[in-house]
Structures are given as structure tokens and as C-alpha cells.
Amino acid sequence: MKKITIGEASRQSGVKVPTIRYYEGIGLLSEPSRSEGNQRAYEPADISRLVFIRHARELGFEVDAIRTLLTLQDDPHQSCASADAIAKARLVDVEQRIRSLMALKVELEAMVEGCGHGRVDQCRVIEVLADHGQCAHAHHGLPALNIPAS
């Protein structure tokens, strides 16, 4: 029985220590056994689960989606239609997001390019912000979602 401390689990999985505890709190990770001194003792399977979660988060899946994916993984006889649906939905979202960001990029480029580097009263950046009519008006507007910093 190699018992893995939370710090070691963090190093092996790439998930930060407080985040591991957080995942336990919200039920993504089952409560591990404890040492004599009440410290969490993980097993290799827990590390795999953490890696799975981290990877899914990096791909932008929400915690709820990951919860579903994990239950699917735990029961390999089920149809993978749900997993497929979740991944497809995520793909659609990513595509939408890319489109929005491309539109933004165009506008920001125009703003930055138009800036004469003079005083504010000639600044295109400020001007465009003040008057939406001056946009390439590729009606931007991004869908919301937070994704971890890495």
C-alpha cells in the first residue's frame, strides 16, 4: 500500500492542493482514506481521476459535464452517446467562441491601427468605444465561461 499525500497527488496530477480539496468538497472526487493523523491518503486510481478532471477542465468542460463523464467512465458498459453529446456540445461552443473572438480581433486591430499615438481627442480607441457605429460592427458579444489559467 503506497499511500500518496495530497501534496504528492498534486505534483503527480498537476492539480493544485486546494483545488483537490475543493473537488472533494463538490463531490467530483470521493473522500480518500485518512492516515492516523487525519491526513488524506490517495491511491493511484485517484491520481488518474485527477488527471482526467484536469484534462477535461483544460478542454473547457464544465464541472457538471465532467461529473457526467466520470460516471460514464466508472461504468464502461453504458452507451457512450452521452459522452459524445457532451463533447459535441463543447465543440459547438468552442467554434462559436472562436467566431466571436475573430470578430473582436478585427475590431481591436482597427482600433489599434487607427491610433495616431497622439492625444486622446484624436484617439481611435476611445472614439470607437464611444460610438459603436464606427465598428466593423460584426456584432460581437462573447458567450460566457471561465476556464482555468492553465
Partner DNA sequence: CCTACATCCTCTAGCGACTAGAGGTGCAAG
Partner DNA sequence: CTTGCACCTCTAGTCGCTAGAGGATGTAGG
Q: Write out the residues near DNA by the rule CB under 7 A.
A: 5-8, 10, 16-19, 21-22, 35-40, 57, 62-64, 145-146, 148-149
Size of the site for a copy of itself (CB under 8 A): 65
Binding string to a copy of itself for residues 70 to 109, with x set by CB under 8 A, is what? --xx-xxxxxxx-xx-xxx-xx--xx-xx--xx-xx-xxx
CB neighbour class for 13 (10 Å; exposed up to 12, middle 13-18, buried from 19):
buried
Q: How far is the CB of 5 from DNA (least distance, A)?
A: 3
Output the nine-digit C-alpha cell for 41. Answer: 491518503
Q: Is 138 in the site for a copy of itself (CB under 8 A)?
A: no
User: b/e per residue, 70-105, with b = 16+ CB within 10 A?
Assistant: bebeeeeeeeeeeeeebbeebeeeeeeeeebeebee
Q: How far is CA 104 from CA 23, 63, 89, 110, 146, in A?
A: 34, 28, 23, 10, 18
Contacts to a copy of itself by CB under 8 A = 48, 51-52, 55-56, 58-60, 69, 72-73, 75-81, 83-84, 86-88, 90-91, 94-95, 97-98, 101-102, 104-105, 107-109, 111-112, 115-123, 125-126, 128-132, 140-150
